[in-house]
């Protein structure tokens, strides 16, 4: 493997771990509390949080790359305002709502619990996606020197 390829691979692996750790670290406890409020029992919550952490091993970097793309596409990188809020929020909803519904179904949640939890997730993400992207993910990436 040549040095350029090795360097690119190292950057991507680092970015993968940075994006994943930011997402898992930020949302694990609030989401567990939300699931409890939706009627999931402790076993379902533990299974859901474990499954989500594993899913985030794939989804976090997909979200990170999608966020990079949508911010560039809509010209919101490093900017504030409603447009930045909408780009960050819609990007997170598009990646996480469908995946979360599948995770809950696989953990034994019924259709009513799933719909309720995904609906509440959408509200949570609508309130937190932009602050997460701007204050957690962007700063975590800056600290570790990734994008």
Residue 78 confidence (pLDDT): 87
Alpha-carbon span 125 to 137, nearest angstrom: 14
pLDDT band at 73 (very low <50, low <70, confident <90, very high): very high
* 3-class secondary-structure state, position 65: helix
Domain count, the chain: 1
Region 16-26: mean pLDDT is 92
User: The domain containing residue 121 runs over which residues?
Assistant: 3-144
pLDDT band at 142 (very low <50, low <70, confident <90, very high): very high
Least confident piece of the model among 46-55, 85-94, 134-143: 46-55
């Amino acid at each position: 493997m040549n040095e350029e390829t090795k360097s690119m691979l190292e950057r991507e692996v680092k970015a993968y771990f940075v994006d994943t750790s930011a997402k898992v670290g930020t949302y694990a406890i609030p989401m567990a509390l939300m699931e409890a409020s939706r009627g999931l029992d402790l076993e379902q919550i533990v299974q859901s949080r474990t499954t989500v952490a594993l899913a985030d091993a794939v989804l976090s970097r997909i979200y990170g790359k999608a966020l990079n793309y949508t911010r560039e596409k809509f010209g919101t990188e490093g900017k504030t305002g409603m447009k930045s809020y909408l780009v960050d929020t819609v990007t997170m909803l598009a990646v996480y709502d469908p995946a979360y519904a599948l995770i809950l179904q696989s953990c034994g949640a019924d259709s009513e619990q799933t719909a309720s939890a995904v609906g509440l997730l959408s509200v949570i993400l609508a309130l937190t996606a932009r602050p997460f992207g701007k204050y957690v993910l962007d700063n975590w990436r800056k600290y570790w020197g990734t994008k």
